[in-house]
Structure formats: C-alpha cells, structure tokens
Amino acid sequence: MGGHEQNYVEEAFRTNWIAPLGPNVDLFEQAIQNYVKQDVHVAALSTGTAAIHLGLELLGVSKGDEVLCQSFTFSASANPIMYLGATPVFVDSEISTWNMCPVLLREAIVDRISKGKKPKAIVAVHLYGMPYQVMEIRAVADEFEIPIVEDSAEALGSSYKGNNCSSFGDIGILSFNGNKIITTSGGGALVTKNGDIKQKAVFLATQARDNAPHYQHSHVGYNYRMSNVLAGIGRGQMEVLDDRVAARRSNFDFYKSSLDNFEEVEFLNEPDGFFSNRWLSCILTPTYEIRETIRLALLEEDIESRPLWKPMHCQPIFEKFPNYVNGISEELFQRGLCLPSGSNLNSTDLERVVTIIIKELTR
C-alpha cells in the first residue's frame, strides 16, 4: 500500500457508503481518467475479467460468434469469450513485443472469412506490460472493421508513442487484482472513449435495471460494479502508480545490467516509442533445460520464479479451438522465466536473485 488508502477506506465507513457505488467509486474513476487521458470514460468494476466480459458483449459478441484472441496470455483474456457462448480463435505472437502478430492476425481473419464467418472482435493483450504493436494491429482491425478489446490488465502505466495503454482499443480493460501493478485487492475497469458505452457498461454491471420506480428488467444483467470500500484503496493506489512503475522498471534495469554479459540470458527490449511498466521482469534462456536449472536453483533458496504464460492454444480447455500459430509463444513458454518483480524488492533481494542465477550460469 502507498499510505493514503486507509484514509479513503475510513471515509467510506464514516459516511456509511458501504455499497457498490459512492464517492470513492466516482473519484477512483476520475483518477484513472485523468491518468489515462485521451478523454476516456472509465467504469470501475469488480474484476478485469468482468470488464472483458462486458466489453465483448457491448461490442455485440454473442452465441456462435468467433472472437480472435492472443494465444500468449493469461486465461482470463479468453474465458469471457466462452461465457458468451462464442468460439475463441487463437493468434500467435511476434518476437519484438511477444504480443499478437499483426501479419498472422490478418491471415487468420482472411481464413475465417473464407470459411464463412467474419470474427466479431479481437482481444489483444499488452503482456507483462509491453504494449502490442498498436498501429499495425489497429490497421488490420480497421481494414476488416473488427473492433478491438484491449486487454491492459498488466499494462497500467505503459504507453505507446506517448499515449497510455487502455486508450487504444474500441474498449480497453484494466485489472486491479492483488498481483497487478496497483491493486484494490480485486477490481477492474472498462475504459472507453464513448460516454454511451460507459453508461451501458454500468447499466449491465448493476443488474440491467430499467428506469422505473419498481424493479423492471428487459436485459440479462450482472453484478459487476466495484465496491465503494475497495475503490477507496484504488484512490490511494493511483497516487503511487508512477512510483510503482519506476520501481518495476528499476527491477528490470538491475536484472538487465547484472546479467547482460551472459549470452544465455536475453531480455525483451522496448522498441522505439514503446514504454513498458515492466510489470514482470522476464528473461529468455537458450533451452528449457537451462530455464529449469535456474528456476530450481532459485526455488532451492525459497525464491519463487515462474515460466512465462502457457499459450492458450496449448491449454487442455482451449486446444480444440481454431488457432493460427508460428511457434513463437510455445518457444517463449519453453525458454522464458518471470523473475521476482514486486515493487517492494530491495537491492539485497535483487542481488540474491542475480547471484544465484550467475552461479548456475558459470558452474
């Protein structure tokens, strides 16, 4: 926590706003809008997953539709496609950002159309905080007039050509889950440049209650709004977001400068115009075996590290769905490792990690 969160939480208690609406919700949304800029409207929700679900529904995805989804991601990018009874179609990554490959995306769209169905939406992800190729993906989406859900769950504080992530999609989403760069313990947001879309998102997120004195419903609704208590945590967290980004980037810089001499360790650099919040610091090793050697040596010292995300097209629940792959995400999964990346790591912690890795590489 940054320090002021408890004041805002206490404010909720003092004023008795213990509900999924209230001043903290409004002011948290305002703080995100001020941060992201680009005249966005923000709806604070219970989770990032809920935001993707509402986003897809608001873009018209329904039963039987196909939705293109980055394969190299966390399952929460794809699960909401299933909630809607739609079919995920997975698209592999390119090597410069590890995110959705625009060339493969185009091939996938052309092929899906030739098979008789035009995909209804694209879920593109800024994985580990690195922006995807924003312009190239947008160009393909526009060519075929397919809207984008921009999964920025890991990328609050990241930007592309000076503009903040979550402002590029037809709908953007954020997550404030406990593991993200800032947190409300659990929480998310839908980000849109269209005020009507925000109103519709809030309507669906609050049980789709029609305007009437009694309870009247003509839509299926959800209970997806953020609690006013948790939004208080969010207000305090927004005050320290820039510090968190600086801390995460400093972790990355330390790992990179300490390990750069070893040809067995590769880092993902920021292409020109890309700014990553470096949510997690990741390395690529030459082989699965070397990756595992490092992971197990760290584990031996009670230090947790984790393989990169296992691609969705390789997951038991998703492997039966269509996919357009080039081997890149599978390679990243085999050879990649997320190092300890918390904003509260001190230089002793970081030294310990690096010392263990160097010991393995020089044995």
- 235 phi, psi to nearest 5 deg: -60, -45
Residue type, 218: S
- If one asks whether residue 224 binds ligand PLP (CB under 6 A), the answer comes out as no
By CB under 6 A, how many residues form the interface with ligand PLP? 14
Report 87-146 residues binding ligand PLP (CB under 6 A).
125
- Least distance CB 73 / ligand PLP (angstroms): 5
Please tell me the distance from the alpha carbon of residue 129 to that of residue 281, in angstroms, as a whole number: 10
Overall size of the chain counted in residues: 363
Cβ-based nearer residue to ligand PLP, 12 or 45: 45
Residues contacting residue 64 through CB under 8 Å, at least 6 positions apart: 85, 86, 87
- 99 phi, psi to nearest 5 deg: -105, -175
Report 152-181 residues binding ligand PLP (CB under 6 A).
153-154, 175, 177
Cβ-based nearer residue to ligand PLP, 187 or 236: 187
- If one asks whether residue 237 binds ligand PLP (CB under 6 A), the answer comes out as no
Cβ-based nearer residue to ligand PLP, 147 or 188: 188
- If one asks whether residue 308 binds ligand PLP (CB under 6 A), the answer comes out as no
Please tell me the distance from the alpha carbon of residue 224 to that of residue 51, in angstroms, as a whole number: 8
Indicate which single residue of 8, 17, 74, 224 sits in contact with ligand PLP (rule: CB under 6 A): 74
Please tell me the distance from the alpha carbon of residue 104 to that of residue 92, in angstroms, as a whole number: 7
- If one asks whether residue 47 binds ligand PLP (CB under 6 A), the answer comes out as yes
Q: Which stretch binds ligand PLP (CB under 6 A): 43-51, 93-101, 215-223, 349-357?
A: 43-51
Please tell me the distance from the alpha carbon of residue 179 to that of residue 183, in angstroms, as a whole number: 7
Distance set, CA 176 to CA 127, 198, 305, 340 (Å) = 15, 18, 21, 19
Q: Which stretch binds ligand PLP (CB under 6 A): 61-69, 72-80, 282-290, 355-363?
A: 72-80
Residues that bind ligand PLP (CB under 6 A): 47-49, 73-74, 76-77, 125, 151, 153-154, 175, 177, 188
